[in-house]
Amino acid sequence: MAEATFKLCKTEFVYEQKFHTLQQLQYELDDYVNWLNNFRIHSSLNYLTPAEVRENRP
């Protein structure tokens, strides 16, 4: 699972960006992780976001 997550991060985030400072990288990575968890739907989660899955746990 971790390998798939890192691959996704690299293909959707790292390869698309050029970072000029460490602070820019930190800001952009935080924004990407927020988007990944709260807005991007995942087919393995029945096309829900991870945040929606957590909200619906019993």
Mean pLDDT (the chain) is 89
Cβ-Cβ contacts under 8 Å for 29 (sequence gap 6 or more): 13
Amino acid 6: pLDDT: 82
pTM of the model: 0.73
Both tokens assigned to 24: 């820019």
- Cα(45)–Cα(34) distance, rounded to whole angstroms? 17
| Residue 53 binned pLDDT confidence (cut-offs 50, 70, 90) | very high
Residue with tokens 């390998």: 3
Question: How many CA atoms lie within 13 Å of 31's alpha carbon, on the beta-carbon side?
Answer: 10
Give residue 1's pLDDT.
67
Looking at residue 51, what is its pLDDT?
A: 93
Average pLDDT on 35-52 reads 91
